[in-house]
Amino acid sequence: MNNALRSARPIEKIFSRPGRPFFLFAAVLFIIAFIAWGTANRDVLVVRDSKTGHTLEIGPISEGETFELHFMHSVDHLPVQDFFVYRNEGLVLDQTRCISFGAGLGYAGQGKLKGENGWNIIDNMNRQVGTLPLRVGTIANHRIIYRGEEFRLAQYFAPKSLVLIGVEHKWRF
């Protein structure tokens, strides 16, 4: 008899060996767990109180997605708008808009400065922030605008609390 024919085994004998059903069950379980992990593990935009740990989950965020931070400047009481993008697992300040260059708002040559409808706009800043530390202001009225929804930080955190705005990996079902 031909060696090729002699070594060929019926398929039912291959899967009926001891341990094969366990191996198949484990392989299927592994595939299901891998798929579940991929859909349940999300990046979430969060604001966390550095002292108490209290956390406001803004929502899931994907690479390249943006949000805005609006506030009133504490010295000149004029609006400021910062535009952030989630890139390379951290926050990047992409643009700042202000009406006046108050304390801490000067142009340092980073990005392109232009004027538009009364606003000073610094565009294409590409400033790597990672996680943004922020004191919740009593005058500033800090607001995060994300996917068209506004989150007033003073509604969630005590005045003058140091909060950290960033992205965390969350396991969800």
Asked whether residue 30 falls in the same domain as residue 63, the answer is no
Asked whether residue 120 falls in the same domain as residue 49, the answer is yes
DSSP 8-state secondary structure symbol assigned to residue 38:
H
Instruction: Spell out the alpha helix ranges (H) of 9-127.
Output: 11-14, 20-40
Asked whether residue 96 falls in the same domain as residue 163, the answer is yes
Asked whether residue 51 falls in the same domain as residue 133, the answer is yes
Weakest-pLDDT range from 3-12, 107-116, 119-128: 3-12
Asked whether residue 166 falls in the same domain as residue 106, the answer is yes
Q: Using the predicted structure, report yes or no on whether residue 136 has a pLDDT greater than 90.
A: yes
Tell me whether residue 151 is exposed, middle or buried, using C-beta atoms within 10 angstroms of its C-beta: 0 to 12, 13 to 18, 19 or more.
Answer: middle
Percent of the chain with pLDDT over 70: 71
Sheet strands (E) in the chain = 41-49, 55-60, 66-72, 79-87, 90-98, 112-116, 119-123, 127-130, 132-135, 143-146, 149-152, 162-171
Q: Using the predicted structure, report yes or no on whether residue 19 has a pLDDT greater than 80.
A: no
Neighbouring residues of 148: CB distance < 8 A, sequence distance ≥ 6: none
Q: How many domains does the chain have?
A: 2
Tell me the pLDDT of the chain averaged across its residues. 84
Q: Give the pLDDT of residue 54.
A: 97
Q: What is the pLDDT of residues 137-166, one digit of tens each?
A: 888 999 999 999 999 999 999 999 999 999
Asked whether residue 97 falls in the same domain as residue 153, the answer is yes
Both tokens assigned to 109: 């040559």
Closest-CA residue to 89 (of 170, 165, 167, 171):
167
Asked whether residue 62 falls in the same domain as residue 29, the answer is no
Is the Cβ–Cβ distance between 164 and 48 less than 8 Å? yes
Q: Give the pLDDT of residue 171.
A: 76
DSSP 3-state of 56: strand
Percent of the chain with pLDDT over 90: 55
Sign (positive or negative) of CA dihedral 156, 142, 149, 125: negative
Asked whether residue 143 falls in the same domain as residue 59, the answer is yes
Asked whether residue 21 falls in the same domain as residue 68, the answer is no
Asked whether residue 11 falls in the same domain as residue 91, the answer is no
Asked whether residue 17 falls in the same domain as residue 89, the answer is no
Weakest-pLDDT range from 2-11, 37-46, 85-94, 128-137: 2-11
Per the structure, the complete domain to which residue 30 belongs is given by 3-40
Asked whether residue 63 falls in the same domain as residue 92, the answer is yes
Amino acid at 32: I
DSSP 8-state secondary structure symbol assigned to residue 74:
T
Separation of alpha carbons 115 and 110, rounded Å? 15
Separation of alpha carbons 33 and 26, rounded Å? 10
Q: What is the pLDDT of residues 74-117, one digit of tens each?
A: 788 889 999 999 998 899 999 999 887 765 565 566 788 898 99
Amino acid at 123: D
**pTM for this entry:** 0.74
